[in-house]
Amino acid sequence: MTTRDPGSVDKVTAGDAKAPGRSPDFIREIVAHDVGEAVAEAEKGGGGYAVRTRFPPEPNGYLHIGHAKSICLNFGIAKEFGGRCNLRFDDTNPSKEEQEYVDSIMEDIRWLGWDWGEHRYFASDYFGQLYDWAVHLIREGKAYVCDLTSDEVRQYRGTLTEPGKASPYRDRSVEENLDLFARMKGGEFPDGSRTLRAKIDMAHPNISMRDPVLYRILRATHHRTGDDWCIYPMYDYAHGQSDAIEGITHSICTLEFEAHRPLYEWFIENLPVPARPRQYEFARLNLTYTVLSKRKLLELVSKGYVSGWDDPRMPTLAGFRRRGYTPESIRALCDKVGVAKTNSVVDLALLEECLRDDLNKRALRRMAVLRPLKVVLENYPEGQVEEFDLNNNPEDPSAGTRKVPFSKVLYVEREDFMEDPPKKFFRLTPGREVRLRGAYLVTCTGVVKDASGEVAELRCTVDLSTKGGTAPDGRSPKATLHWVSAAHAVDAELRLYDRLFRAENPDKYPEGQDYKVNLNPESLVTLTGCKLEPSLAGAKPGDRFQFERQGYFCCDRDSKDGATVFNRTVTLKDSWARMQARSR
Ligand code: ATP
Ligand code: MG
């Protein structure tokens, strides 16, 4: 087996999660300290100070739940300290970026509950300034045009144990560099033929300081600047300077940028920037049974392993939303996992718990039969319809009740009947009495089979003295089943979603394979001909319910008049934990 875990990884489970009201994380401590100092300064007559953070997505894919952690941290800190958080699109790579992603990113941040107000920016807005600052570095003898190919640049760079080698173009004169850089911008040279590099130190122990590339030549139409530019700044150069332009105080990013921090600081020190932001790194969010790399998510979409970026199995915010997750549950997860300095993998079950906690409080209860089995109540009057008032949510009396029609022919769940049940099966079986939720006690008296011997229909008698589901003599069956009146049922398609990957770590796979070998072939089971209680007829895409005994479901946008579709958001209990316990 090849393991591709990045570094050492601790697992955070529900038990380790910190309670709300936990002590501030290390980044909040830093911010609080800086705010404290600034207030003291201000009292001595210094200038004002406001915390400014930013969330800097690259518009090359949809946001995923890892981004949610960064969003909650950046917007959360701004809110808690009375500052502001900019939304800045890091759009320096036109070959992979698109307007569709810009739009989806804004929609998803708003859905999560955050707002950047007027402060939406694009790194591409600063291309002119970044170019001028590159010219400044050339003038100072701190940048040069290099003609090495990208492969050669890599070879010359050295390794962790060996110093790099100077490029033969390193000692070009300032004049020659100014001329070549202007001509790079002017479109005189082919793509990839030259770069602008910072002149720092080819023997530096930190490889990012070995004359990093600042600009490359690339003819690609940019989603905002069109064909204005054929040279584009590299992320490391663009990012910190964009922070400085916007007056960011705390530039918070994930741990993989820790090694780039000296370079971040080098630019700030060597350029006439208007502010001196500082970079802080925290551990990215990883989830079991999930991949969060945009490259992989894009592959799943573009090769059709899923139906799109918002496929309900995708760990994107659009996917979670369509699946029926609430923004509150995702924020609760981000709160629980906290902000740390070491990488860890969070148990997907913890997210599901956050979701159940939230939905249990708010989702209205409904009855839906997934795999219908017809029941005829032999002694119930033909043509009679009664309406029962059922609680919308036992957890919340203010949610009120709804009317559910009851009649002679009903559907119950096929798995709630067994002809020859094992000992602990308390549901329907010939001769056994059960409760139909909120309606009556009924007893199974007969089974009708089809030509192949399959159970096609049940015959039952109803005890009409048990109206509402309670017997006057106090007897109480062990099982209460959900049911739907056949004549009133709404037909629906139910999509039962499960984890997209069956391996806890999808990035662990046999030699010669890749992460896709871990895809769960049963991640989607589609059921048609499901029977819903009639109050669900008016459900709108996005409406969430608890289908009693079956799980939480969300009306899908594929629903059309007469063709209702629901996604199963999550089961009522953690069935994976049970499965694993059984296999132990
Ligand atoms: P890739 O998947 O290619 O590494 P990315 O997820 O880093 O891309 P960006 O758009 O650059 O994509 O990310 C925007 C911000 O979100 C960055 O500040 C990044 O550090 C943060 N971020 C990305 N992934 C995670 C994660 N799993 N946990 C926490 N923050 C994340
Ligand atoms: Mg990134």
- The residues, ordered by sequence, that sit 6+ positions from 99 with a Cβ below 8 Å of its Cβ are 59, 223
Expressed in angstroms and rounded, the spacing between residue 534 Cα and the centre of ligand 2 is 47
90-147 pLDDT per residue, tens: 999 999 989 999 999 999 999 999 999 999 999 999 999 999 999 999 999 999 999 9
Closest-lying ligand 1 atom to the alpha carbon of residue 70: 30
Q: Which of 294, 356, 544, 568 is catalytic?
A: 294
Expressed in angstroms and rounded, the spacing between residue 262 Cα and the centre of ligand 1 is 20
Expressed in angstroms and rounded, the spacing between residue 329 Cα and the centre of ligand 1 is 20
Alpha-carbon span 507 to 56, nearest angstrom? 26
Tell me the HSE value of 135 on the side-chain side, using a 13 A CA sphere: 14
Closest-lying ligand 1 atom to the alpha carbon of residue 257: 20
Expressed in angstroms and rounded, the spacing between residue 426 Cα and the centre of ligand 1 is 50
Would you call 231 helix, strand, or coil by DSSP? strand
pLDDT at 581: 57
Q: Are 367 and 482 in contact (CB under 8 A)?
A: yes
Segments in 113-206 forming alpha helices (H): 127-139, 150-156, 174-185
Q: How many separate helices (H) and strands (E) can be counted in the chain? A: 13, 29
- 67: Cβ below 6 Å to ligand 1? yes
- pLDDT category of residue 20 using cuts at 50, 70 and 90: very low
Expressed in angstroms and rounded, the spacing between residue 60 Cα and the centre of ligand 2 is 10
Alpha-carbon span 565 to 36, nearest angstrom? 54
- SS3 labels along 340-371: CCCCEEECHHHHHHHHHHHHHHHCEEECEECC
Expressed in angstroms and rounded, the spacing between residue 294 Cα and the centre of ligand 1 is 9
- 56: Cβ below 6 Å to ligand 1? yes
Would you call 33 helix, strand, or coil by DSSP? helix
Alpha-carbon span 29 to 10, nearest angstrom? 23
- The residues, ordered by sequence, that sit 6+ positions from 488 with a Cβ below 8 Å of its Cβ are 385, 405, 407, 533, 534
Alpha-carbon span 251 to 346, nearest angstrom? 24
Alpha-carbon span 305 to 291, nearest angstrom? 13
Pocket test for ligand 1, best of 53, 254, 282, 345 (most atoms within 8 A of CB): 254
Domains and CATH numbers, the chain: 14-282 (3.40.50.620), 285-366+492-584 (2.40.240.10), 368-482 (2.40.240.10)
Pocket test for ligand 1, best of 53, 70, 243, 279 (most atoms within 8 A of CB): 70
The verdict on whether 139 is a catalytic residue reads no
pLDDT at 11: 39
- 294: Cβ below 6 Å to ligand 1? yes
**CB burial of residue 419 (10 Å; 0-12, 13-18, 19+):** exposed
- Strand ranges of the sheet holding 455-463, from the earlier edge strand across to the other edge: 480-481, 433-436, 441-449, 455-463, 372-377, 409-413, 484-485
The verdict on whether 408 is a catalytic residue reads no
- pLDDT category of residue 169 using cuts at 50, 70 and 90: very high
Expressed in angstroms and rounded, the spacing between residue 30 Cα and the centre of ligand 1 is 22
- Give the DSSP H/E element, type plus range, for residue 330: helix 327-337
Closest-lying ligand 1 atom to the alpha carbon of residue 285: 28
Closest-lying ligand 1 atom to the alpha carbon of residue 58: 10
- 69: Cβ below 6 Å to ligand 1? yes
- 66: Cβ below 6 Å to ligand 1? yes
Encoding tokens for residue 475? 């007897």
Segments in 188-303 forming alpha helices (H): 235-245, 261-270, 294-302
Chain centroid offset of residue 268 CA: 33
pLDDT at 49: 78
- 284: Cβ below 6 Å to ligand 1? yes
Pocket test for ligand 1, best of 284, 330, 334 (most atoms within 8 A of CB): 284
- pLDDT category of residue 322 using cuts at 50, 70 and 90: very high
Q: Which ligand is nearest to the Cα of residue 6, counting in written order?
A: 1
57-94 pLDDT per residue, tens: 999 999 999 999 999 999 999 999 999 999 999 999 99
- Give the DSSP H/E element, type plus range, for residue 110: helix 99-112
* β-pairing verdict for 508-509 and 401-406: unpaired
Residue in 498, 112, 116 with CA at minimum distance from that of residue 317? 112
- 546: Cβ below 6 Å to ligand 1? no
Residue in 67, 80, 86, 88 with CA at minimum distance from that of residue 31? 80
Expressed in angstroms and rounded, the spacing between residue 200 Cα and the centre of ligand 1 is 27
Long-range CB contacts for residues 337-340, cutoff 8 Å, separation at least 24: 337/12, 337/17, 337/69, 337/285, 338/17, 338/18, 338/22, 338/25, 339/25, 339/26, 339/27, 339/28, 339/69, 339/73, 339/282, 339/283, 340/25, 340/26, 340/282, 340/283
Alpha-carbon span 367 to 355, nearest angstrom? 20
Pocket test for ligand 1, best of 12, 54, 60, 67 (most atoms within 8 A of CB): 67
Q: What does the DSSP 8-state code read for residue 280?
A: E
Would you call 405 helix, strand, or coil by DSSP? strand
- 285: Cβ below 6 Å to ligand 1? yes
147-163 pLDDT per residue, tens: 999 999 999 999 999 99
520-544 pLDDT per residue, tens: 999 999 999 999 999 999 999 999 9
Expressed in angstroms and rounded, the spacing between residue 96 Cα and the centre of ligand 2 is 13
- 253: Cβ below 6 Å to ligand 1? yes
- pLDDT category of residue 2 using cuts at 50, 70 and 90: very low
Residue in 454, 126, 386 with CA at minimum distance from that of residue 274? 126
pLDDT at 8: 32
Residue in 195, 328, 291 with CA at minimum distance from that of residue 514? 291
Q: Which amino acid is at 166?
A: A
Between the CA of residue 495 and those of 236, 297, 506, what are the distances in Å? 44, 21, 23
Alpha-carbon span 440 to 412, nearest angstrom? 14
Would you call 30 helix, strand, or coil by DSSP? helix
Alpha-carbon span 444 to 430, nearest angstrom? 5
pLDDT at 40: 83
- 57: Cβ below 6 Å to ligand 1? yes
Q: How do the residues of the chain divide into helix, strand and coil, expressed in percent and rounded to 5?
A: 35, 25, 40
- 254: Cβ below 6 Å to ligand 1? yes
The verdict on whether 58 is a catalytic residue reads yes
447-499 pLDDT per residue, tens: 999 999 999 999 999 999 999 999 999 999 999 999 999 999 999 999 999 99
Mean pLDDT of 189-199: 98
- 293: Cβ below 6 Å to ligand 1? yes
Between the CA of residue 110 and those of 54, 56, 63, 130, 362, what are the distances in Å? 15, 15, 12, 30, 21
Evaluate if pTM is beyond 0.85.
yes
Closest-lying ligand 1 atom to the alpha carbon of residue 63: 10
Q: Are 279 and 307 in contact (CB under 8 A)?
A: no
Expressed in angstroms and rounded, the spacing between residue 67 Cα and the centre of ligand 1 is 6
- 260: Cβ below 6 Å to ligand 1? no
